[in-house]
């Protein structure tokens, strides 16, 4: 890690940033820090150094970070530089044609401001810019890129990150078919952004209000295509269920899809149904986080529901919960792997025998999907984490990632989509109910077909991301010979790229057939460890998983 810049250099950068910042709030914030630092306030100096000693990097996930003034935060200056750089990349790529770019935004703080700034800068750079008409889910933007034949799309969202974050997610049309960017495009875009940042003030960038507002037709088309994913079977009207939008933008669109597909309206969690970028009822607006679904469970108990459906704030993820009397709260949230395997089985049965059809999941997701593919004569692809990779699998009919992401409708949305996944899952649940079965029974049927797979995860959230790098380095220097009593048969470092994958991932194959995978999170300050086991019985697989989780915790405690 490089040494921090001298405070004099940081102050010069801060003054230059202040001079070009169009936002009254961040200008006031930065001016106060500068004044305090110049008077010798050490806390202010440290804060300024953190904001300017580096730059929020543009990568394959675009931009994502905390809101605030400075080059290492999300703000209007940074977004303007990103928009101008992305425009330059698109013009170079278009070879003289006029590129079209679609911009969407969710309900987070400043999402609408960043989206409007982007539309004005794209139009000012000579692009055809189309702004979606209001706050909408990320899958609608991903759909719009293909529906409108656009060259690119930008979604202003930080998905399920903490309330003070925002982000800038980029999609490419044409030969990329509306998928998120991958190398080398990410590097080229980052270089173009850096060129803009180094060339002068964002105040000098040309702007125009000659951008378009998308017609409602594109939203209507998304609703029709998504409703067609899983029309309600007969008997669906008898299923009582609960829905939460997690303070996000999913409900307006999802409600229309439900009506079009013929499903009964759910009981909603009223405290979480309207968009609210403060996310007042949850510590993290992520259905995976402890406590995030407590209000949904309380609502479900009162409604005597049979199912809970939760979407994250930009509605690209889905969480499912089912009744479980053995638990104190009476409900159990299914893991992303459980939902993914159920939806994978649904897709495999529909595509069984279809030449070239495939299922795909990230390398940290359950190997059970491969067993499903083999059972139905389908191809199977294991990819790096992220739907930018899953969406590019040849012949894809279904893809998923254990972090609650599911791609069930690849002909229309080449990204994870919590709304279409919700419709597919509601159809599964309604069909099961029609034959006197439950979602829990579906899991038992799945196990009977592919065996007793169990998956778990150990996550370490840190304040200092250098801790993650230190742990990864220690594991590479001295690979573990065993996890608990189970020996490591093979250790693979994907940075060495033995299978053409690449990535900061360590994978361990154990002697009992289990596997352990370690990687830094791509969107949060977390180290994630994924565990997958297959046992002879449910009890055996649960015991193997518990032993592996404890061994991982012991190892991380020694390293951390």
Q: Residue 445 maps to which CATH number?
A: 3.40.120.10
DSSP H stretches of helix in 367-417: 368-375, 387-390
Backbone angles phi, psi at 461, to 5 degrees: -90, 135
Q: Check whether 4 has a pLDDT greater than 80.
A: no
User: Same domain for 269 and 380?
Assistant: yes
Our answer to whether residue 159 is catalytic in this structure is yes
pLDDT of residue 313: 97
User: Same domain for 470 and 335?
Assistant: no
User: Same domain for 298 and 438?
Assistant: yes
The tally of domains found in the chain comes to: 4
User: Same domain for 461 and 445?
Assistant: no
Residue 230 domain-assigned (yes or no): no
Residue 62 domain-assigned (yes or no): no
Q: Check whether 68 has a pLDDT greater than 80.
A: yes
Q: Check whether 546 has a pLDDT greater than 80.
A: yes
> For the packed helices 466-477 and 538-559, what is the interaxial angle rounded to 10 degrees?
110
The Cα–Cα gap between 374 and 361 comes to: 14
Residue 84 domain-assigned (yes or no): yes
Token digits of residue 36: 């305090």
Residue at which a domain ends, from 427, 450, 473:
450
Distances (CA, A) of 356 to 370, 373, 397: 15, 12, 10
Closest CA to 179 of 160, 155, 159: 155
**Are the C-beta atoms of 181 and 189 separated by less than 8 Å?**
yes
Q: Check whether 81 has a pLDDT greater than 50.
A: yes
Q: Annotate 112-164 with DSSP letters as a single string.
A: HHHHHHHHHHHHHTT-EEEE-SS---HHHHHHHHHHTT-SEEEEE--TTS-TT
Q: For the purposes of burial, counting CB atoms within 10 Å of the CB of 40, is it exposed (0-12), middle (13-18) or buried (19 or more)?
A: exposed
Those residues whose C-beta lies under 8 Å from the C-beta of residue 112, and which sit 6 or more positions away, are 105, 135, 156
pLDDT of residue 307: 97
Q: Annotate 50-73 with DSSP letters as a single string.
A: HHHSS----BTTBEEEEBSSSTTS
pLDDT of residue 538: 87
Three state DSSP letters for 252-268: HHHHHHHHHHCCCCCEE
Task: State percent of the chain over pLDDT 70.
Answer: 98
The Cα–Cα gap between 95 and 192 comes to: 16
Residue 292's domain comprises 238-450
pLDDT tens-place string over residues 241-299: 999 999 999 999 999 999 999 999 999 999 999 999 999 999 889 999 989 999 999 99
Strand pairing category for 526-535 and 452-461:
antiparallel
User: Same domain for 20 and 100?
Assistant: no
Q: Is the peptide bond before 184 cis (omega within 30 degrees of 0)?
A: yes
Catalytic residue selected from 118, 159, 366, 455? 159
Residue with tokens 């400075």: 70
Closest CA to 294 of 281, 279, 278, 303: 281
Residue 317 domain-assigned (yes or no): yes
Residue 231 domain-assigned (yes or no): no
Residue 69 domain-assigned (yes or no): no
pLDDT of residue 1: 45
Strand pairing category for 452-461 and 152-156:
unpaired
């Amino acid at each position: 890690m490089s040494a921090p810049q001298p405070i004099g250099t940081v102050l010069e950068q801060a003054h230059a940033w202040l001079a070009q910042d169009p936002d009254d709030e961040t200008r006031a914030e930065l001016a106060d820090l500068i004044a305090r630092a110049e008077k010798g306030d050490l806390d202010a100096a440290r804060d300024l150094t953190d904001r300017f000693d580096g730059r929020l990097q543009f990568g394959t996930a675009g931009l994502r970070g905390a809101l605030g003034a400075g080059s290492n935060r999300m703000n209007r200056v940074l977004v303007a530089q990103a928009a101008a750089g992305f425009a330059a990349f698109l013009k170079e790529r278009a070879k003289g044609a006029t590129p079209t770019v679609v911009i969407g935004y969710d309900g987070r703080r400043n999402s609408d401001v960043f989206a409007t700034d982007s539309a004005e800068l794209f139009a000012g750079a000579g692009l055809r810019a189309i702004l979606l008409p209001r706050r909408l889910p990320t899958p609608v933007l991903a759909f719009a890129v293909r529906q409108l034949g656009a060259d690119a799309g930008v979604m202003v969202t930080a998905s399920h990150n903490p309330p003070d974050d925002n982000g800038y997610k980029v999609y490419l049309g044409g030969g990329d078919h509306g998928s998120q960017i991958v190398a080398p495009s990410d590097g080229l875009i980052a270089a173009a952004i850096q060129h803009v940042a180094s060339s002068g003030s964002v105040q000098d960038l040309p702007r125009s209000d000659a951008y378009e507002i998308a017609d409602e037709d594109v939203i209507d088309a998304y609703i029709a295509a998504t409703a067609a994913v899983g029309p309600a079977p007969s008997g669906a009207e008898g299923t009582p269920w609960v829905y939460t939008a997690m303070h996000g933008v999913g409900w307006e669109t999802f409600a229309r899809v439900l009506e079009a597909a013929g499903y009964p309206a759910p009981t909603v969690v009223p405290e979480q149904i309207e968009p609210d970028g403060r996310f007042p009822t949850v510590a993290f607006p992520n259905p995976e986080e402890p406590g995030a679904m407590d209000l949904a469970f309380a609502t479900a108990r009162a409604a005597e529901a049979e199912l809970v459906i939760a979407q994250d704030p930009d509605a690209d993820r889905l969480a499912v919960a089912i009744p479980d009397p053995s638990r104190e709260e009476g409900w159990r949230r299914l893991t992303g792997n459980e939902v993914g395997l159920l939806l994978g089985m649904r897709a495999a049965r529909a595509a069984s025998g279809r030449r070239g059809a495939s299922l795909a999941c990230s390398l940290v997701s359950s190997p059970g999907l491969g067993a499903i593919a083999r059972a139905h004569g389908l191809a199977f692809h294991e990819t790096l984490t992220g739907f930018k990779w899953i969406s590019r699998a040849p012949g894809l009919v279904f893809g998923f990632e254990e972090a609650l992401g599911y791609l069930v409708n690849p002909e229309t949305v080449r990204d994870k989509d919590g709304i279409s996944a919700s419709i597919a899952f509601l159809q599964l649940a309604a069909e099961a109910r029609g034959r006197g079965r439950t979602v829990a029974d579906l899991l038992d049927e799945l196990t009977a077909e592919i065996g007793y797979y169990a998956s778990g995860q150990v996550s370490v959230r840190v304040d200092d991301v250098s801790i993650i790098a230190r742990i990864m380095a220690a594991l590479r220097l001295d690979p573990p010979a065993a996890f608990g009593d189970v020996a490591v048969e093979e250790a693979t470092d994907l940075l060495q790229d033995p299978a053409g994958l690449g990535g900061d991932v360590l994978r361990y194959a154990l002697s009992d057939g289990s596997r352990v995978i370690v990687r830094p999170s791509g969107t949060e300050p977390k180290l994630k460890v994924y565990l997958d086991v297959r046992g002879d019985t449910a009890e055996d697989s649960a015991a193997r998983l518990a032993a592996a989780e404890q061994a991982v915790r012991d190892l991380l405690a020694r390293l951390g």
